[in-house]
């Protein structure tokens, strides 16, 4: 009976250690490829990368002074003198130049072309 337990234990150990050796190993000099995740249907889907372009919104507008206050996500403020385009419902309606000053996630800009309204999207192209 004791011999049978040892044999069963050895077989289980061999199976456990042998299961890891079935994977394809990378050949030296061959570039490795990242694994693609399969979708719910089992098909490989496209890789999704985040859009890291600078995007903000118009928070305030002063039409007389042709200045705007822009709001950006935390840590994504544009540099001074940078030019950005203003979009309303996907259509370009103006262009601004960042002038400062900056306060928290808001920064001032001059409206150099077109127009801007509160809620318009501001982004670089």
Q: Would you state the pLDDT for residue 54?
A: 87
Could you tell me what percentage of the chain is helix, strand and coil, using 3-state DSSP and rounding each to the nearest 5?
Answer: 15, 35, 45
Measure the CA dihedral 52/113/63/75, to 10°.
Answer: 20
pTM of the model: 0.60
What pLDDT, in 10s, does the model give residues 36-61? 555 555 567 777 777 678 899 999 99
Higher pLDDT, 75 or 50: 75
Q: Would you state the pLDDT for residue 64?
A: 94
Dist CA 68 CA 112 (whole Å): 11
Report, as an integer, the average pLDDT of 8-31. Answer: 57
Token representation of residue 21 = 């050796």
pLDDT, mean over the chain: 81
**Would the pLDDT of 33 be above 60?**
no
Q: Which of 76, 75, 89 is nearest to 124 (CA)?
A: 76
For the chain, domains (ranges, CATH) are 55-123 (2.40.10.170)
Report, as an integer, the average pLDDT of 7-28. Answer: 58
């Amino acid at each position: 009976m004791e011999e049978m337990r040892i044999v069963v234990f050895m077989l289980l150990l061999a199976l456990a250690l042998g299961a890891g050796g079935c994977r394809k190993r990378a050949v030296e000099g061959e570039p490795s490829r990242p694994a693609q995740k399969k979708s719910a249907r089992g098909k490989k889907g496209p890789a999704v990368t985040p859009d890291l372009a600078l995007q903000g919104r118009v928070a305030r507008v002063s039409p007389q002074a042709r200045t705007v206050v822009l709001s950006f996500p935390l840590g994504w403020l544009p540099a001074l003198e940078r030019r950005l385009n203003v979009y309303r419902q996907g259509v370009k309606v103006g262009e601004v130049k960042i002038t400062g000053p900056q306060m928290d996630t808001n920064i001032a800009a001059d409206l150099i072309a077109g127009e801007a309204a509160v809620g318009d999207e501001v982004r670089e192209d």
